[in-house]
Structure 1
Amino acid sequence: MAAHLRPADTRDRLTLKEIAVAERVAAGLGNKDVADELGIKAATVTGHMASIGFKLCAGSRPSRIHAALSTGQVNAPAAGTAPSFSQDELRLLQALATQPDDDAIAAAAGLVAKRVSLHVRALLLKAGARNATHLVGLSHAWELLGPSASAQSAANTATTW
């Protein structure tokens, strides 16, 4: 039996259910709460998150949500006014959104791996986020992460040279 492959341009497209799961995870819900809202099992939510990671080549939960938001397939959660973050905090936020584990986050953010969770907790408190994936979602809503953040960062860099 021949395998049926989707065209390359649709392989990374999320299904409607994956989008529904990702939007709720970006809003800070855990698997059980997402499952309850969608009328599915928590294990199904886990499966959808794994599929999102596979399709978007993202390993950690925050990086999966970052990838889904960055590709424009998922809407960012509602957010109030962004707190003022230092450059070090923004570097940690970027690392949290893009790196697979504490060691990689530490290396990207210039921190000691043992202290990553302490710094992340401080960011969560400052942002009023429920968890790391919610922080990533809020950061997209505030345009601190994602395509508009990249354009803003390039503009800021251009003006400082």
Structure 2
Amino acid sequence: MSTTSAAPPRPRLTQVEKRAVTLAAAGWSNDQIARQLRSPPGKVTRLLSGLSETYGTGESRPALIRAALADRLVVLPAPGRPAPHFTDPELLLGRAIAHQTGPHDVTASAHVDQLTDPVAQTGRLVGKARARNATHLVALLDAWDLLDPEHHEGDPR
């Protein structure tokens, strides 16, 4: 008798879900996605919330995008520019944003100094990457292959 359990099946996304996740990964708001899909904003919210529930990513859109990208449910175009040089603490913060489901989890995972403002640190990282928001940052870090710490020497993780 085996004690290991099979991984849960990957969800299959409809074309509308793929488009919504792709636009969310590009940093679009629910209202912008709804206009693009010609759908009510509430439907987009329910669609993305349902996917978050499926993946167990809570209310974290960056974590949802990371999960969808990791499962290759969506594939984004290359960013068209090289990654800026990120310090090890910046990469740690970016990875924490991608993998954690809430702000307190991000702070703990990234070992962010409690005396500093994690929102401001995230904002600086978003600006450095020239991302639209934290969700877009995660998509860029994934495209630049910076979310896997095993690929990068000297990473503190």
Q: Does TM-score exceed 0.5, indicating one fold?
A: yes
Give the percent of matched residue pairs that are identical in Structure 1 and Structure 2: 35
What aligned pairs does 1:85-96 form with structure 2 within 5 A after superposition? 85-96=86-97
Q: State the distance in 1 between where 2:118 and 2:14 align.
A: 33
SS in 2 for 1:74: coil
Which residue matches 2:36?
A: 37
Moved more, 75-84 or 103-112: 75-84
- Does residue 81 of structure 2 align to residue 71 of structure 1? no
Q: Is the 8 A contact 1:76 1:140 kept in 2?
A: no
Q: TM-score, normalised by structure 1?
A: 0.82
Q: Is the 8 A contact 1:77 1:138 kept in 2?
A: no
When residues 123 and 15 of structure 1 are mapped into structure 2, their CA distance, relative to the original with a 3 A threshold, is same
The amino acid of 1:40's aligned partner reads: S
Partner of 1:98: 99
Give the C-alpha shift of residue 113 in structure 1: 7.8
Q: Which residue of 2 aligns with 1:117?
A: 119
- Partner-residue secondary structure (3-state), 2:117: helix
Q: In structure 2, what is the Cα distance between the partners aligned to 1:70 and 1:42? A: 26
Q: How much has 1:16 moved relative to structure 2?
A: 2.2
Matched residue type, 2:12 = R
- Tell me the TM-score normalised to structure 2 length: 0.84
Unpaired runs of at least 5, structure 1: 1-7
The equivalent of 1:4 in structure 2 is none
Please tell me whether the aligned partners of residues 31 and 46 of structure 1 are also in contact (alpha carbons under 8 angstroms).
yes
Cα distance, 1:102 vs. partner? 1.4
Give the structure with the larger helix fraction.
Answer: 1
Measure how far apart 1:20 and its partner are: 0.8
Q: Runs in 1 of length 4+ with deviation above 2 angstroms?
A: 12-16
